[in-house]
């Protein structure tokens, strides 16, 4: 048996054993997973979605806290004091309803015995007028709730886009590994051809050595592709929010994605203004700034509060005491706070200006992102069509050159160049397919329309 034949069969056997081991180790544990199912799983298990949901609940709790300003406040206080201070003793005896004739003695008034006082105090306060401070606070917190809803939508869209990238990243890596394995097999076959041509006296040993080098390089690329495939699988699991060692059998192939007509760009631009979470968030930020400005301006107005108090004072914790009550209305007007109120109003107004500017900046950035994604999608679609034709031509060219090489009409350089051209064209076709699928999802993400129902996830 010729040495070249032995080398070729060794490579083929090694590939077969490696594939069999891979299938044995992982095939039974793999679960079929479509892109749509992967996207759904990510929305159910990714930590970013869980964090966004917690932020929504947090904002809702903030609204309930602000709305509490409309309701009365009730407090209960228990205290114990003991003193022989004349005024304290005199007043405590009155509050305890234990004051008697003997307590009018001058000596008892000036030098009373120490006295215990257990006091229970219940206070009820109701704001009657606060110049709409509470109303503006509630409005701001409700807007904050809406803002958190948009933030959650934005996180969901980002998670979905990352799922699309990593899902097709795994498919690309697997397809690339297959191309590398085919390249190794093809190089091994070329080594057989080179050996046969050499033995027929139509080439030199240098040709055989050149093919051996080519075969070694192909094997190195295969090893690198296998390592990349492992990392890509871990990246997909990270995007899904599951264990990094989880195994899946991906069921959505890396095929072309439908690209719409030029008018589609305008529809995406129009959709962004209405649906893109980032743009909706900046608009809500403007409204929140306006509510905060209104609240700051109302701080210049007085606050009117009604209150009622019930007080019980006792010498012992359970007896020898009496009770009294108090009801009234009070007004507090901060006439001067060192310019703090005016400074807060000025800061709030500047925050409004900043929010408006950020909103315009966000819209321009979104429009640019949509245009870039749309251009990338169009480019990827065109390159995919060209790459498919190039692959066909490269395959036919390699077939012809192999025949001519075996007949002694071409040198080994042309053979290796043709092999490299085919491998490169296969990689380029896979790359353009990947970019087309991912940029389709990126375009919908930029427009704010990337959801579980999107065609980009089919």
Radius of gyration of the chain, Cα coordinates, nearest whole angstrom: 40
pTM: 0.80
Q: Report the alpha-carbon distance of residue 288 to residue 295 in Å, rounded.
A: 11
Rounded Cα distance, 209 and 202, in Å: 15
Count other C-beta atoms under 10 Å from residue 235's C-beta.
18
Report the pLDDT value the prediction gives residue 25, as an integer from 0 to 100: 45
Q: And the tokens for 99? A: 């004051």
Using CB atoms within 10 A of its CB, is residue 420 exposed (0-12), middle (13-18) or buried (19+)?
A: middle
Q: Is the Cβ–Cβ distance between 176 and 224 less than 8 Å?
A: no
* Dist CA 213 CA 203 (whole Å): 16
List the pLDDT tens digit at each of the 458 positions of the chain: 444 444 444 445 444 444 444 444 444 456 789 999 999 999 999 999 999 999 999 999 999 999 999 999 999 999 999 999 999 999 999 999 999 888 888 888 899 999 999 999 999 999 999 989 899 999 999 999 999 999 999 999 999 999 999 999 999 999 999 999 999 999 999 899 899 989 888 888 998 999 999 999 999 999 999 999 999 999 999 999 999 999 999 999 988 876 555 568 888 999 998 899 999 899 999 999 998 888 888 888 999 999 999 999 999 988 888 899 999 999 999 888 888 888 988 998 998 999 999 899 999 999 999 999 999 998 998 999 999 999 999 999 999 999 998 888 888 899 999 999 999 999 999 999 999 999 999 999 999 999 999 888 98
CA distances from 166 to 48, 229, 240 (A): 16, 11, 9
Backbone phi and psi for residue 139, each to the nearest 5 degrees, phi listed first: -60, -40
On whether the CB atoms of residues 215 and 187 are closer than 8 A, the answer is yes
CB 457 within 8 A of CB 160: yes
Q: What are phi and psi of 34, to 5 degrees?
A: -85, 165
Domain 3-71+131-299+340-457 belongs in CATH node 1.20.1600.10 = yes
The three-class DSSP label of residue 116 is strand
First CA to last CA distance, the chain: 52
**What is the structure's pLDDT at 319?**
85
Find residue 81's DSSP bridge partners: 117
CATH of domain 72-129+302-333: 2.20.200
Instruction: Look at residue 3 in the predicted model and tell me its pLDDT.
Output: 43
The residue ranges of every structural domain in the chain are 3-71+131-299+340-457, 72-129+302-333
Q: What is the DSSP string of 191-202?
A: HHHHHHHHHTTS
pLDDT for res 20 = 44
Look at residue 101 in the predicted model and tell me its pLDDT.
Answer: 87
């Amino acid at each position: 048996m010729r040495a070249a034949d032995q080398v070729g069969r060794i490579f083929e056997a090694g590939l077969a054993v490696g594939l069999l081991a891979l299938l044995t180790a992982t095939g039974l544990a793999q679960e079929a997973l479509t892109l749509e199912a992967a996207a759904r799983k990510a929305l159910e298990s990714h930590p970013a979605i869980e964090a966004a949901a917690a932020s929504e609940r947090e904002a809702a709790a903030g609204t309930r806290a602000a709305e509490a300003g409309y309701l009365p406040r009730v407090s209960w206080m228990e205290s114990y004091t003991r003193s022989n201070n004349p005024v304290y003793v005199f007043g405590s005896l009155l509050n305890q309803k234990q004051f008697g004739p003997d307590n009018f003695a001058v000596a008892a008034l000036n030098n009373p015995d120490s006295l215990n006082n257990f006091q229970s105090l219940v206070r009820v306060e109701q704001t009657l007028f606060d110049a709409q401070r509470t109303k503006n606070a509630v409005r701001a917190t409700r807007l904050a709730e809406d803002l958190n809803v948009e933030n959650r939508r934005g996180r969901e869209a980002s998670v979905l886009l990352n799922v699309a990238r990593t899902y097709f990243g795994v498919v690309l890596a697997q397809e690339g590994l297959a191309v590398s394995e085919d390249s190794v097999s093809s190089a091994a076959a070329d080594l057989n051809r080179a050996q046969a041509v050499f033995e027929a006296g139509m080439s030199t040993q240098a040709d055989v050595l050149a093919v051996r080098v080519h075969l070694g390089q192909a094997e190195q690329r295969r090893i690198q592709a296998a390592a990349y495939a492992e990392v890509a699988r871990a990246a997909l699991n990270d995007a899904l929010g599951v264990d990094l060692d989880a195994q899946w059998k991906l069921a959505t192939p890396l095929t072309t994605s439908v690209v719409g007509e030029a008018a589609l760009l305008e529809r995406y631009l129009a959709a962004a203004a209405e649906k893109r979470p980032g743009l909706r968030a900046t608009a809500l930020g403007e409204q929140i700034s306006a509510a905060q400005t209104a609240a700051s301006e109302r701080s210049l107005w007085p606050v009117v509060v009604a209150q009622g108090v019930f007080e019980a004072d006792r010498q012992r914790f359970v007896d020898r005491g009496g009770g009294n009550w108090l009801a009234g209305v009070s007004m507090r007007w901060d006439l001067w706070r060192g310019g703090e109120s005016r400074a807060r109003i000025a800061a709030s107004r500047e925050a409004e200006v900043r929010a408006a500017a950020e909103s315009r900046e966000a819209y321009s950035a979104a429009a640019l992102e949509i245009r870039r994604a749309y251009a990338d999608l169009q480019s990827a679609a065109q390159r995919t069509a060209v790459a498919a034709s190039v692959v066909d031509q490269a395959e036919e060219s390699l077939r012809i050159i192999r025949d001519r090489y075996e007949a002694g009409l071409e040198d080994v350089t042309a053979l290796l160049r043709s092999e490299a051209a085919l491998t490169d064209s296969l990689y380029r076709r896979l790359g353009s397919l990947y970019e087309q699928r991912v940029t389709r999802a990126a375009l919908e993400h930029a427009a704010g329309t990337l959801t579980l129902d999107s065609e980009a996830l089919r």
